[in-house]
Amino acid sequence: MLTFLLGTVFTMRADEGMWLLHMLQKINEAEMRNMGLNLTAEEIYSINQASLKDAIVMLNGGMCTAEVISDQGLVLTNHHCAYGAIQSFSSKENDYLTDGFWAYSKDQEKHIEDFNVSFLVRIDDVTQKVLSELNDDMTEDERAAKVSEMMQKLSKEATEGTDYTAEVKSFFYGNEYYLFVYNTYNDVRLVGAPPESVGKFGGDTDNWMWPRHTGDFALLRIYSDSENNPADFSESNKPFTPKRHLKVSLDGVQPNDFTMIMGYPGSTDRYLSSWGVQQAIDLYNPTVVEVRDAKLKSMKEHMDADKAVRIQYASKYASTANYWKYYIGQTKGLKRLNVYEKKKEIEQDFREWVAADSKREAKYGGALDMIAEYYELSEPRVKADVYALEAGIIGADITLFAYRFERTFSAAMADEDEEKQKMILQSFAATADGFFKDYDLETDKDLLRTTLKMYKENVDEMYLPSIFSTIDKKYKGDIDRFVDAVYEDSFLATREALDTFIAKPKQKTFDKDPAIQLGISMIDAYRSTFNNEAQAKYDKGYRLFVDGLRKLNPTTKYYPDANSTMRLTYGQVGDYYPADAVHYDFVTTANGILEKHDPKDPEFVMPKGLIDLIEARDFGKWKDESGELVVCFISNNDITGGNSGSPVMNGDGDLIGLAFDGNWEAMSGDIAFEPELQRTISVDIRYVMFIIDKLANAQNLIEEIDFVQKRAKKEKPTEAMQEVTPMMEK
């Protein structure tokens, strides 16, 4: 036990769990109310009346989370969640990434292409409907086919006669199933974003770290038709009127304050086995890191040399860097916190429980052996599997672009009607604008050269994609020659060449195109990573293991792994001790911005206007009771990727912060929650409002937000009071 971690944090509760909303009344409501919640479960999730869920939205199918903060459809999310949108509007002339963007009236707001928000309408438990169609005599393939059939059937029934969408998702590894119904709005516009130096302050250096001083926020707005329904973009659309929006609290945070976060966490592996942990440490994580490290170096070299390329690749670089650092931290955390040994203990308890009863032995006896066999079968090709995705499919942009065009071209040629062929190909040409806007030939060429060489050097020859045989035969094994040919000879390498081909498509030209050959080869390699026999053992083993584990501990409250469905997590504000003799406070202030500010380091440079405001201590009504401007705070809520942009709320459901990161010491948290260490890093809502008010002077936005202050503010003692106080104490 890391006993030195206890310190002052023993007063905090460490409430692990990402809970399904419709189960709160049954499982969590009483405990949450004892901790400081002043709402009922019905006020959080209801299908009959407006509730908190109606103020929370999913961005782009689960990429991030956001919340509605005004009755005019104003939406708050993270800067990094809107980063691609901000980048899409940026150019050398209007560099909104560097300078920020603010709409001072609604007609200045910018429509974001291919961007949507989804409101959760309801959750239905359809477990029995699905399981009633299954039986123990089915093979895993038969079972999967029937589950898929039922998912589609139930989703269709739930949305018939409506404009809603729905999906059924599996929970607890196929032991439970729930239906989620959504209402999706496609007209979303960019309203405001601080300069990158605020929204990404600290860059890769501070990513996943505490203490933090990042103003990671951006503002969007939802638009609807005249009836408040979803509609395609139109100048005649009006700001959306929500059923519920969040009020913004000016109370700030204190130690042990109740906090809850609602959002769409993407993926966790809390039931991962000891074999899975070991494989992550030894093979999977290091391989992802080595490929992404090389890609980051290639991109950065070109981005530093050309401002236009920096704008084009800003979002790609940030995305690549984020999980490059994540996997480094996760590996360290898994080792440091002995997660492998902890998983072994759980598995041993499970084995003993199974062995104690013949019926349990008959049902669950082979569960762990099936899981172990899966990892034994998959281990020889883990490195190849990672390379197939990281260096193959997404190694360079042209590879995935080629595969997408191959699917389009094949669909077009399958149609005998020449006019329809042209329409299909021209539709692809229209979507290619986005690709070429964020594509630089020389940068992509360097990425392809780098990743192909790494692929050849690091993957066993038996797992190499077929394109390497082509390189050996046609290019004498010279990868540089092949890469030159891709960008010189492929009709996908430039927009002009693509348009020329689409105007007069020829099958022979298509078949000979080196980029097409590359794309098909890499996709084939990626598809070959799926081993149906091994996967069947994995699926059945985990389904039985998780089912048995819950029966082994019937009084334990189990929550399912994250899977991009709305969850609630609750906890408290508080400090922590990351290592012996090291203590981290629960808040950071603007003083830390001045300490970190470095005009020579792009990651730590701040706008002069912000520095001037901080030095003058011109914080306005956004300062705390001691006169400081709080920037970020931490709490022990349980979140993961997809929760970015989620609202952090107090016991009244009012907004106090915006979740944007986790802490370095608990990077293994997606696999094993660590109560003493795990912290959610959030930007304080008062700092967000300070930037909007004082730096951007966007009073139009401040005016449409509802502010509340319920905690009495203590005045800072005057000098005279400070002199008297010690005497009074005596």
**Domain limit, last residue, from 494, 529, 564:** 529
In terms of Cα–Cα distance, which of 66, 121, 25, 38 is closest to 653?
38
Same domain, 151 and 294: no
* pLDDT value of position 415: 83
Question: Which residue type does 350 have?
Answer: F
Q: Is the previous residue joined to 380 through a cis bond, with omega within 30 degrees of 0? A: no
C-alpha 199/C-alpha 214 separation (Å) is 6
Q: Pick the catalytic residue from 70, 88, 635, 644.
A: 644
Q: What domain range includes position 500?
A: 396-529
Examine the domain organization and report whether 214 and 295 are in the same domain: no
The answer on 520 and 543 residing in a single domain is no
CB neighbour list of residue 681: distance below 8 Å, 6 or more residues apart: 210, 212, 632, 634, 659, 660, 661, 662, 663
**Contact status, residue 657 vs residue 633, Cβ threshold 8 Å:** yes
User: What pLDDT is stored for residue 713 in this prediction?
Assistant: 60
514 and 538 inside one domain: no
Neighbours of 613 (CB within 10 A): 19
| Catalytic hit among 15, 216, 385, 397 | 216
Compute how many other C-beta atoms are within 10 angstroms of the C-beta atom of residue 391.
31
Residue 543 and residue 175 in contact, taking contact as beta carbons nearer than 8 Å? yes
Q: Do residues 110 and 211 share a domain? A: yes
What would the two tokens of residue 720 be?
């005279």
Task: Decide: 549 and 9 in contact? Cβ < 8 Å.
Answer: no
Does 207 reside within a domain? yes
Examine residue 616 and state whether it is found in any structural domain, yes or no: no
Give domain status of residue 152, yes or no: yes
Residues 160 and 83 in one domain: yes
Residues 386, 490 within the same domain? no
Closest C-alpha to 80, from 320, 284, 350? 320
- Is residue 363 one of the residues assigned to a domain? yes
* 643 within a domain of the structure (yes/no): no
Same domain, 183 and 121: yes
Mean pLDDT by 10 residues, the chain (730 residues): 32 74 93 96 96 98 97 98 95 95 98 97 98 94 96 97 97 98 98 98 95 98 98 97 98 97 97 97 97 97 96 94 94 95 97 97 96 92 95 96 94 88 89 92 98 97 96 97 97 96 94 96 90 86 97 93 97 95 97 96 95 98 96 97 98 98 95 93 98 98 96 53 33
Whether 686 and 251 have beta carbons less than 8 Å apart is answered as no
Give yes or no: residues 344 and 441 share one domain. no
Q: Is 293 one of the annotated active-site residues of the chain?
A: no
Q: What are phi and psi of 246, to 5 degrees?
A: -85, 140
d(CA 655, CA 682): 11
Tell me if residue 370 falls in helix, strand or coil: helix
56 shares its domain with 97: yes
Same domain, 378 and 504: no
Say whether 80 is catalytic: yes
Catalytic residue among 22, 79, 80, 213: 80
> How much is the pTM?
0.91
Q: Is residue 180 part of a domain?
A: yes
Whether residue 216 is found in the same domain as residue 364: no
Domain count, the chain: 3
116 within domain boundaries: yes
Q: How far apart, in whole angstroms, are the C-alpha atoms of residue 375 and residue 371? A: 7
315 is catalytic: no
Are the C-beta atoms of 458 and 387 separated by less than 8 Å? yes
Count of residues making up the chain: 730
Question: Residues 164, 121: contact at Cβ < 8 Å?
Answer: yes
Give domain status of residue 592, yes or no.
no
